Chain A
Amino acid sequence: MSTISVAGRSLKARPLLPRRIRPARLALHAFLIAAVLLWLFPLLWAVYASLRPVSETIFNGYVSWPKTLNFDNYTTVWTQADLPYFYLNTLVIVVPAVILTLLLASMVAFCCTQFSWKFNLVVLMLFTAGNLLPPQVIIVPLYWIYLHTPIASFGSIDVGRFSFALFSDNGLLYNQYLGIILIHVVFQTGFATFVLSNYMKTITKEITESALVDGANVLRIWWSVILPLCRPALAAMATLLFTFIYNDFFWGLLLLKTGDRRPITSALNDLQGQFFTNNNLLAAGALLAAIPPIIIFIALQKHFVAGLTLGSTKG
């Protein structure tokens, strides 16, 4: 390792010489390439297994050279396990949850950072700490609340097989899109408030003050002055929240009944055993469920990493 820094200095001394490949650098790359291959292996192995027909793996074993590779396992899972339906369940949950979380969290962060009042620190702490609790600590009373809070039923909007109840078709929060969206919003608002308030602290209060002088009300300042300034942070948070909520397993498992309303992650687990009779199908199912977050990650990687580290770098 020490050679790296030494070499770095010597390079500065002879800037005209062509860049030499230094042995330490080479070792570093060799190590990283080996590590990266190791990292990718489980994923690539799943891809390989998913592309092979079951009959072939039964006959030759999983660790064997392929004769045929095709997408049959994917088509089987997609059509027979009702996957599109579960994707839509996830979508119906994730989109409103992300939007509501960002709205609520940005309001709280705005009020706590742009104005000084007695309890703003306490409020921030409550939100932050609430998000840090293991969800299992609150599940027992929460489950009871979900089973005992009466929610009005005003019919539903039906689109094909989907029924979006207004606001609950069983009079409860349990087993409702509304209920699962609500708990995601509440839980993630804590996290989003913390991150957004860190970001908003860097916005000078003079902006809010001069807008107040100009006669704008607080709601207007939040919506048309502060939120546009927070666009990078909001984009980063939206990316992260999408992934967090998409990846949720626990809430979907406990607050939704088996079957019809579960998002793809919990539904996938329900399929284990009964539907996934072989590892090839299992691999195809897992990879299909992994595609949305992977696409989001690849397309919005910058936002993703920014969201995770917001505040530690200069934005």
Chain B
Amino acid sequence: MANPATSAAAPARASKAPEAGELVATRRRRRYSLLTRPDKILIALMVGIPLALDILFIWGPTVASVLLSFTDWAGIGDVTPQNVVGLKNYTTLFTGYAFFWPAFQHNLIWLAFLSFIATPLGMFLAVLLDRELRGKRIYQSIFFLPVVLPLVVVGFIWTLQYAPSDGFINNAFGLVKSGNIIDWFGNPSINLYAVLFATSWRHIGYIMVLYLAGLKSVDPSLREAAKVDGATEVQTFFNVVLPVMAPINVIIVVVTAIEALRAFDLAFIINRGTNGLELLSILITNNSISEASLIGFGSAIAVVLLVISLVPIVLFLSRTMRSQA
């Protein structure tokens, strides 16, 4: 899930303590002299072991995915020069593979739906709750509750809503009685939106909590000043609060994008990502970890997903690390 989000906070804090950074420079020499040789070895181990694991199990496989995407390796034996096929996997992917563009489009729709509907709704709830309000905590907890549920559970809960003849929606709107049953998860032209609705149930609460934390960090005197100047609440939000929140806004954008690219569980649980629910993430696993074992081809899809993911990742790193440097 979207852990990255989490650290929404980094920039806000870093900007608060610029003096700390300046001190480092002057102190650097003294601190180094304090470390004994065994200390330095200990530090190397304390960083080195986790780093080795990170490289071995995450960055190594990432590079391997890129390299394998230029081969037709089937996963048996060694990769030999005969396996290298150049860009063939990519040309097949873009021109000959019927599921790629639909999956790509579904990821885009997923991103657009979260960006333009779910995320703004989460922000809206945060703005509504960012005030002295009776029962505020209860509201907040309920909106956040779906975020803690496993996606399998979310999928099952929404199955109970969407099921064709037993589901709540079709029964409550009389569609079962009148014989106009809508197969929400089964009809390929609407099932993506049905899934997005269920996803938003979680996503909105997540964004709300992140944004609420950001709103709390806004200097209250800014708002008071705007109020004194006669600005309405809506004006204050768009002209004063939103610009101050720029660092958090970037993180919200990044979280939304990464959630959209990672989407896997719900589509897989509903129908293994077929029949209108194809997603890049699912195509990767279906092609490479299955009887087909098209490792090179699956890797090419992984590289496409990687390249797209690098956009929000780099954005996130440049925003958070710049303030740390």
Binding-face segment, B84-92, B184-192, B312-320: B312-320
Q: C-beta contact mask, A13-55 vs B, less than 8 Å → 1, else 0?
A: 0000000000000001101100110011011011001000000
B285 to chain A, nearest CB (A): 6
Q: Is the CB of B61 within 8 A of A142?
A: yes
Q: Is the CB of B209 within 8 A of A28?
A: no
Residues in B with CB closer than 8 Å to A129 are 313, 317
Q: Is A176 interfacial (CB-CB < 8 Å)? A: no
Docked complex: B284-325 residues within 8 A CB-CB of A: 284-285, 288-289, 295, 298-299, 302, 305-306, 309, 312-313, 316-317, 320-321, 324-325
The chain A residue sitting closest to B168, CB to CB, is A45
Q: Is the CB of A141 within 8 A of B64?
A: yes
Give the complex CA separation of A217 and B39 in angstroms: 6
Q: Is A10 interfacial (CB-CB < 8 Å)? A: no
Q: C-beta contact mask, B255-267 vs A, less than 8 Å → 1, else 0?
A: 0001001101100
Q: C-beta contact mask, A76-103 vs B, less than 8 Å → 1, else 0?
A: 0000000000000000000000000000
Docked complex: A273-306 residues within 8 A CB-CB of B: 279, 282-283, 285-287, 289-290, 293-294, 296-298, 301, 304-305
Docked complex: A115-150 residues within 8 A CB-CB of B: 115-117, 121, 123-145
Can you list 6 A-B pairs, Cβ within 8 angstroms, ordered by A?
A: A4-B131, A115-B43, A138-B65, A140-B302, A141-B60, A265-B153
Q: Is the CB of B6 within 8 A of A279?
A: no
Give the complex CA separation of A268 and B150 in angstroms: 11
List 7 additional contacts besides A39-B143, A108-B47, A279-B166; criterion CB under 8 Å.
Answer: A28-B128, A62-B168, A139-B284, A190-B54, A219-B46, A240-B6, A249-B265
A residues contacting B by CB (< 8 A) are: 1-2, 4-5, 9, 28-29, 31-32, 35-36, 39-40, 42-43, 45-46, 49, 57, 61-63, 104-105, 107-108, 110-112, 115-117, 121, 123-145, 182-183, 185-191, 193-195, 198, 201-202, 205, 209, 212-213, 217-219, 222, 240, 243-244, 246-247, 249-250, 253-254, 265-266, 268-269, 272, 279, 282-283, 285-287, 289-290, 293-294, 296-298, 301, 304-305, 307-313
Give the complex CA separation of A304 and B145 in angstroms: 11
A198-B10, A218-B39 given; A138·B61 CB < 8 A: yes
Residues in B with CB closer than 8 Å to A312 are 8-10, 12-13, 210, 213-214, 216-217, 248
B121 to chain A, nearest CB (A): 10
The chain B residue sitting closest to A120, CB to CB, is B47
Q: C-beta contact mask, B2-17 vs A, less than 8 Å → 1, else 0?
A: 0111111110111001
Q: Is the CB of A104 within 8 A of B49?
A: yes
Partner of A219, one of B7, B42, B133: B42
Give the complex CA separation of A202 and B13 in angstroms: 9
Partner of B321, one of A124, A201, A289, A309: A124
Residues in B with CB closer than 8 Å to A42 are 157-158, 160-161, 201
Partner of B57, one of A105, A145, A240, A247: A145
The chain B residue sitting closest to A276, CB to CB, is B156
Q: Is the CB of B46 within 8 A of A107?
A: yes
The chain A residue sitting closest to B20, CB to CB, is A201
Give the complex CA separation of A191 and B316 in angstroms: 13
Q: Is the CB of B46 within 8 A of A5?
A: no
Give the complex CA separation of A201 and B11 in angstroms: 12
Q: Is the CB of A132 within 8 A of B313?
A: yes
Give the complex CA separation of A88 and B9 in angstroms: 35
A108-B51, A136-B285 given; A183·B9 CB < 8 A: no
Q: Is the CB of A134 within 8 A of B161?
A: no
Q: How many residues of B contact A (CB 8 A)?
A: 125
Residues in B with CB closer than 8 Å to A31 are 128
Partner of A313, one of B9, B24, B144: B9
Q: Is the CB of B13 within 8 A of A61?
A: no
Q: Is the CB of B7 within 8 A of A132?
A: no
Partner of A61, one of B7, B125, B171: B171
- Classify the interface of chain A: helix, strand, loop or mixed: helix
Give the complex CA separation of A208 and B206 in angstroms: 36
Q: Is the CB of B269 within 8 A of A309?
A: no
Q: Is B38 interfacial (CB-CB < 8 Å)? A: yes
Partner of A311, one of B9, B157, B299: B9
Give the complex CA separation of A49 and B161 in angstroms: 11
Give the complex CA separation of A223 and B172 in angstroms: 58
Partner of A254, one of B51, B161, B285: B285
Residues in A with CB closer than 8 Å to B9 are 198, 309-313
Q: Is the CB of A186 within 8 A of B53?
A: yes
Residues in B with CB closer than 8 Å to A209 are 27, 30-31, 34
Q: Is the CB of A218 within 8 A of B43?
A: yes
A42-B157, A138-B65, A209-B31 given; A311·B143 CB < 8 A: no
Binding-face segment, B93-101, B110-118, B226-234: B226-234
Give the complex CA separation of A266 and B148 in angstroms: 16
Residues in A with CB closer than 8 Å to B312 are 132
Residues in B with CB closer than 8 Å to A57 are 166
Residues in B with CB closer than 8 Å to A40 are 142, 145
Q: Is B225 interfacial (CB-CB < 8 Å)? A: no
Partner of B151, one of A46, A108, A247: A247
The chain A residue sitting closest to B58, CB to CB, is A130
A96 to chain B, nearest CB (A): 15
Q: Which 3 A-B pairs have the closest CB atoms?
A: A311-B9, A312-B9, A309-B213
Give the complex CA separation of A198 and B16 in angstroms: 12
A5 to chain B, nearest CB (A): 5
Q: Is the CB of B10 within 8 A of A243?
A: no
Docked complex: B135-169 residues within 8 A CB-CB of A: 135, 138-139, 141-146, 148-153, 156-161, 163, 166-168
Q: Is B75 interfacial (CB-CB < 8 Å)? A: yes
B222 to chain A, nearest CB (A): 14
B314 to chain A, nearest CB (A): 8
